[in-house]
Structure 1
Amino acid sequence: MELRELKSFLKIMELESFSRAAKELGYSQSALSVQIHSLENELGVRLFDRLGKQVTLTPPGRQLARRVLPILQEVEELENVMHNRPPAEALRIGMIESLCKAHMPQVMDYVCRNLPQLHITITIDSPSVLLDALNHNKVDLVYVLDKPLYDGKWEKVFQKQENIVFVCSVDSPLAREKDLKLDQVIRQPFFLTEKADNYRLSLDQQLAARQLALNPILEVSDTGFILDMVQRGLGLSFLPQYVVENSPYRDRLQILQVKDFHMHMYRQLFYHKDKWLTQAMKVFLRLALRENPPDKGERTPDFSWNREKDSCTDKGSMI
């Protein structure tokens, strides 16, 4: 079994394509096919199902992937030591826009002070797009707000309930109201996120079930811009409570208590079960767990942080 065959196997798994993997690795497609055929003959199993242009792992292929990832990680670390090269430290995170604005500043404060060699790439998109990217190894971690999500391929680090709230300026007459009702609130001008955003979509669905609707003044994905408009007294919005509480305008904003309407979703952090947990991933998971202790009974990696060595070990605990 050759390392180049194993690396080729993982690249095909990542890209789900022999032709794209061959191009990225610098092989001809026939040469790559020979490598995989040789590996399959040696192991006595079929590693990929090939249905037209679609390439998927077989059960033995998934088992091999789980075992190969840590082996190749060790090989890479050994090569770095032998060649006296610093290990590559990179982290790819998929997030929704509101979580990025609310939580990444604290993470970056720690990283810049303690791990300046770490390079972080953040992809902002919808939960469905980000989780598809996780399945195809295009991101290492996914941090989203949605209904509870589950897939056997993912490890969920934590799940925390978040209120989605109506918000106005402190100068709005509604800010002093104690017994607000939904139909009274939605008569106001609104600045909302785009219809594709999951909490906006859920709002529209719940309003439609009551034969109500909202026609906002403006729809935009930038929650910071929305709250700027709200604090100026130009209208209301409907956003996750953590967005309001982390806004620089929070002293100018008022969360409304609407007695006949309540909605919540869940912040969730995932990585792929077949993904080797890199040092950079462990750092981010540890920082996230400090801020988001798991619910009682929720299984999550328990990372023991060593500040002197900038290292982290996974104890695998039940909290």
Structure 2
Amino acid sequence: MEIRQLQTFIQAARFESFSKAAEMLGYSQSAVTVQIRLLEEELCCRLFDRMGRTVSLTVQGERFLEHANQILYEVNRTVNDMSADQELRNPLHIGTIESLCSAKFPGLLNRFHGKYPRVNMRITLDSPEKLIRMMEHNELDLIYILDTPRWNKDWIKVLEAAEPIVFVSSVNSEFVAGKDLKLQDILGEPFFLTEKNANYRQALDQHLALEARALKPVLEISDTEFIIKMVERNDGLSFLPYFAVEKFIAQNQLAVLDVTDINISMYRQIFYHRNKFCTREMEEFIRLVKEFEK
């Protein structure tokens, strides 16, 4: 039994497909089929039921998956322990959303690269749902998302921090001086919003729908920095995570509006898959994120 056979088996189980496992691992499909067949012969049991182009684990396959994950975990832990005194150099692939990347990652990556220049960082931007799927298919080392609180028995959560979502305007807006504003006071203004698939935009739309109201923005775009520039010019209002606008508020370029009849928060969360060995590179990135929280 070889380590590569275990890796192939785990990927085939995750994707429920030999062809997708082959694509993920850089093998031919026939090589995956041979490796699985050799495993089944050695274990004297059938690990997969084949149904057309898809495969599913048998009862024995489910049991063996637990052992295979544990074996690979211990192998990775041993390798990590033996290299504990060596400079960090393994690649790190992180999934996140656009607004977090723009606001949080420049400082984080600058600090990380300064300490560990040999680590090749890769960042993938997408929606929380797609990033979670990628994590579950071992296409990402960890994910840093903004969403409602998430939990799954197969995930390890290492950070959860509440983040208010706020209405913002330029400092010259007529609404800045207003106290105890209501949603109805500002709904007629031009709005620049993220696209409807952004979870905090969805939360706003759902809140308005419950009151039989709607908001029609003059612009929908996924680029948070562009939205901030438009609002700063006093061209309209927006609804954004506080972390995305915090520095602009501190520099007196934007202002938070005192809208009192709505209170929406999301949570910044970091996960990695339970079956993913947490490398020293992952540990150090997580440590730096928490350090920035202080």
**Fold match (TM-score > 0.5):** yes
Summarize the alignment of residues 154-173 of structure 1 with structure 2, pairs less than 5 Å apart: 154-173=155-174
State the number of aligned residues.
Answer: 290
1:213 aligned onto 2:214: yes
Contact in 1 for aligned 2:88/2:116 (Cα 8 Å): no
1:63 aligned onto 2:103: no
SS at match of 2:272: strand
Q: 2:40 matched to which residue of 1?
A: 40
CA distance in 1, matches of 2:126, 2:17: 24
CA distance in 2, matches of 1:257, 1:26: 54
- TM normalised by structure 2 equals 0.88
Runs of 5+ unmatched residues, structure 2: none
- Compute the displacement of 1:30 (Å): 4.3
CA distance in 2, matches of 1:48, 1:281: 32
Cα RMSD of the aligned pairs, angstroms, is 2.8
CA distance in 2, matches of 1:246, 1:43: 59
- Of 266-275 and 58-67, more deviation after overlay is shown by 58-67
Contact in 2 for aligned 1:93/1:143 (Cα 8 Å): yes
Aligned AA for 1:252? Q
Summarize the alignment of residues 80-159 of structure 1 with structure 2, pairs less than 5 Å apart: 88-159=89-160
C-alpha spacing 1:206/1:118, structure 2 compared with 1 (3 Å) = same
Deviations 1:6-26 (A, max 9, x none): 243244345542124346656
Summarize the alignment of residues 1-319 of structure 1 with structure 2, pairs less than 5 Å apart: 1-13=1-13, 15-22=15-22, 29-44=29-44, 46-57=46-57, 58-73=61-76, 88-247=89-248, 250-292=251-293
Contact in 2 for aligned 1:158/1:292 (Cα 8 Å): no
C-alpha spacing 1:51/1:88, structure 2 compared with 1 (3 Å) = farther
Aligned AA for 1:125? D
- TM normalised by structure 1 equals 0.81
Aligned AA for 1:258? V
Contact in 2 for aligned 1:227/1:249 (Cα 8 Å): no
Deviations 1:272-305 (A, max 9, x none): 0000111211111111222347xxxxxxxxxxxx
CA distance in 1, matches of 2:244, 2:179: 22
Contact in 2 for aligned 1:179/1:257 (Cα 8 Å): yes
CA distance in 1, matches of 2:4, 2:229: 54
Identity across aligned pairs (percent)? 45
Contact in 2 for aligned 1:48/1:61 (Cα 8 Å): no
C-alpha spacing 1:178/1:290, structure 2 compared with 1 (3 Å) = same
C-alpha spacing 1:123/1:53, structure 2 compared with 1 (3 Å) = same
- Compute the displacement of 1:175 (Å): 0.4
CA distance in 2, matches of 1:205, 1:29: 46
Contact in 1 for aligned 2:77/2:277 (Cα 8 Å): no
CA distance in 2, matches of 1:22, 1:193: 37
- Compute the displacement of 1:212 (Å): 1.2
Runs of 5+ unmatched residues, structure 1: 294-319
Q: Which has the higher contact order (CA 8 A, sep 6+)?
A: 2
- Of 269-278 and 145-154, more deviation after overlay is shown by 145-154
C-alpha spacing 1:88/1:285, structure 2 compared with 1 (3 Å) = same
Aligned AA for 2:54? Q
- Of 16-25 and 123-132, more deviation after overlay is shown by 16-25
C-alpha spacing 1:18/1:86, structure 2 compared with 1 (3 Å) = farther
C-alpha spacing 1:86/1:7, structure 2 compared with 1 (3 Å) = farther
